[in-house]
């Protein structure tokens, strides 16, 4: 895989903006083309269609931005690009359907919408294919034309040199392996290296400088910074973070002080929290207003006909920050046998109706009320009973990590087969690993993917859903 150079990373930000503007134009014109094809005219567009064109294109661009479709590190991963494209399309369809229902846009025919998505998807695929080809071409040129200088003799610099050499990059490692580490880090030795860098730059135009020796000599770093700034050289400090290579660490600032976080927490940002909460509210309202009125009477009658007791049950569950909340569910057991004991395969406490509700996950439908109340999210780690939380906290390392975020109606662990009973601590440990991965890798597109997988599993059924 080719990686963008320091210069290109700066240039790609500008290219990303241009690409998004261009794609907005492509999508907008696709809407107009679909209009011409649908109504067989190339005359002026009717006024009320202009607002739809704008909403359609802006919605597409907004969702594409959240998926990092133009991130240079994603442009060479075709599988990731395809997955993001599918998720973007799915979320966009939900957005447009919500728009049509909310503004009562009856003037939009189904045939026109099909044509719009057909022309848009074909146009965007073609546009992004050109971007992909252009990225590959310019990255290949970039690696063969870069002049890079490495200053340092520690192992990480030698590994970096090997990597860059494999990419056919012209690398000059000023401090050799034979040098003694203490001598290499001496002020005199480094000063000679800096002088050599300055002479070398007069002969070859250096594009990037990587520096991995002691940070204690502030004057030396200032000297290199001034020199590289004056000569348009990208200056990078290198440190060995190999012990953290298996973690999604990030660097943040507390005031002027840099700090290293050993875990990425996408949902910690205000923008992500607002986006996820807005989606939860919209999705829950759609389910409660459109699905619940149809399902509830049927389920309620079936429950009451089979056994005495309430239609709903309320249980105490552990939520975000290990705070308890009351969860709502359709009753699936005989009233006299309800308890916090986990259900097992063939459990005689479960009614016939309850067995169907559990297998199809319809017993969880009332939890959309919990989502609206802010106790839960549509997607997140499944909430456990309070007694189970106490039990597993003592048995499983980092179990409480899953409570950093709101619990969900469905989750990453559940769509990967970890649902139902958890008598085996090893299975619960695997579930916790999936929940931790979700917390560290959250994105709106990941939530959409999990929801689609959940819908598929509702119809397909799961062996351990009981």
- Among 203, 222, 240, residue at a domain's last position: 240
Distance of CA 319 to the CA centre of its chain: 22
- Let me know how many helices (H) and strands (E) the chain has, helices first: 16, 10
Tokens of 165: 């050499």
Cα gap 171→164, rounded to integer Å = 7
350 DSSP assignment: B
Task: Indicate if 358 and 408 belong to the same structural domain.
Answer: yes
Phi, psi of 124, deg, nearest 5: -70, -40
Cα gap 282→137, rounded to integer Å = 42
- Per the DSSP assignment, residues forming a β-bridge with 318 are 324
Predicted pLDDT at 7: 45
Residue 139 CB neighbour total at 10 angstroms: 20
Inside any domain, residue 73: yes
Report pLDDT digits (tens) over 104-121. Answer: 766 677 888 889 999 999
- Among 185, 220, 240, residue at a domain's last position: 240
| Total domains, the chain | 3
Task: Indicate if 310 and 427 belong to the same structural domain.
Answer: yes
251 DSSP assignment: E
Predicted pLDDT at 329: 92
Inside any domain, residue 252: no
Predicted pLDDT at 200: 76
- Among 126, 143, 160, residue at a domain's last position: 143
Q: Which residues of the chain have pLDDT under 50?
A: 1-10, 176-184
Predicted pLDDT at 462: 62
Task: Indicate if 135 and 169 belong to the same structural domain.
Answer: no
Segments forming the whole domain that contains residue 25: 6-143
Tokens of 33: 């083309």
Task: Indicate if 117 and 50 belong to the same structural domain.
Answer: yes
Is-contact 396 366, C-beta < 8 A? no
Inside any domain, residue 429: yes
Predicted pLDDT at 247: 58
Task: Indicate if 39 and 95 belong to the same structural domain.
Answer: yes
Residue closest to 187 by CA, chosen among 157, 220, 154, 212: 220
Task: Indicate if 433 and 347 belong to the same structural domain.
Answer: yes
Predicted pLDDT at 215: 54
Predicted pLDDT at 464: 59
pTM for the predicted model, two decimal places:
0.57
Predicted pLDDT at 117: 92
Task: Indicate if 453 and 355 belong to the same structural domain.
Answer: yes
- Per the DSSP assignment, residues forming a β-bridge with 327 are 315
Inside any domain, residue 246: no
């Amino acid at each position: 895989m080719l990686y963008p150079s320091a210069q290109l990373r700066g240039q790609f930000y500008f290219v990303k903006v241009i690409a998004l503007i261009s794609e907005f134009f492509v999508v907008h014109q696709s809407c107009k083309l679909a209009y011409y094809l649908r109504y067989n005219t190339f005359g002026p567009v009717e006024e009320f269609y202009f607002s739809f064109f704008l909403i359609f294109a802006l919605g597409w661009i907004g969702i594409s931005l959240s998926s990092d479709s133009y991130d240079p590190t994603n442009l060479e991963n075709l599988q990731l690009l395809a997955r993001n494209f599918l998720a973007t399309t799915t979320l966009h369809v939900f957005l447009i359907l919500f728009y049509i229902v909310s503004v009562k846009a009856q003037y939009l025919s189904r045939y026109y919408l099909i044509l719009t998505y057909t022309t848009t998807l074909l146009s965007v695929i073609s546009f992004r294919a050109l971007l992909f080809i252009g990225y590959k071409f310019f990255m290949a040129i970039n690696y063969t034309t870069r002049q890079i200088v490495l200053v340092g003799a520690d192992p990480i610099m030698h590994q970096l040199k090997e990597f860059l050499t494999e990419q056919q990059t012209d690398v000059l490692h000023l401090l050799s392996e034979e040098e003694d580490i203490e001598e290499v880090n001496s002020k005199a030795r480094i000063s000679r290296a800096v002088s050599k860098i300055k002479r070398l730059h007069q002969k070859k135009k250096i594009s990037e400088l990587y520096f991995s020796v002691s940070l204690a000599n502030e004057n030396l770093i200032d000297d290199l910074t001034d020199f590289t700034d004056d000569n348009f050289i990208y200056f990078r400090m290198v440190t060995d973070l190999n012990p953290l290579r298996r973690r999604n660490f990030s660097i943040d600032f507390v005031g002027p002080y840099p700090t290293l976080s050993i875990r990425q927490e996408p949902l910690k940002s205000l923008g992500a929290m607002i986006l996820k909460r807005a989606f939860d509210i919209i999705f829950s309202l759609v389910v409660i207003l459109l699905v619940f009125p149809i399902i509830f009477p049927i389920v309620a009658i079936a429950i009451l006909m089979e056994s005495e007791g309430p239609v709903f049950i309320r249980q105490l569950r552990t939520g975000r920050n290990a705070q308890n909340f009351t969860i709502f569910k359709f009753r699936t057991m005989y009233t006299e046998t309800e308890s916090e004991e986990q259900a097992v395969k063939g459990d005689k406490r479960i009614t016939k109706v309850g067995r169907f509700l559990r297998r199809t996950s319809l017993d969880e439908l009332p939890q959309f009320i919990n989502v609206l109340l802010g106790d839960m999210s549509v997607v997140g780690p499944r909430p456990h009973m309070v007694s189970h939380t106490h039990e597993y906290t003592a048995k499983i390392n980092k179990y409480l990590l899953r409570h950093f975020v709101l619990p969900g109606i469905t989750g990453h662990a559940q769509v990967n087969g970890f649902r139902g009973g958890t008598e085996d601590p090893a299975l619960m440990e695997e579930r916790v690993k999936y929940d931790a991965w979700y917390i560290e890798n959250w994105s709106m597109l990941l939530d959409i993917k999990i929801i689609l997988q959940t819908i598929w599993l509702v119809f397909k059924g799961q062996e351990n859903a009981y």
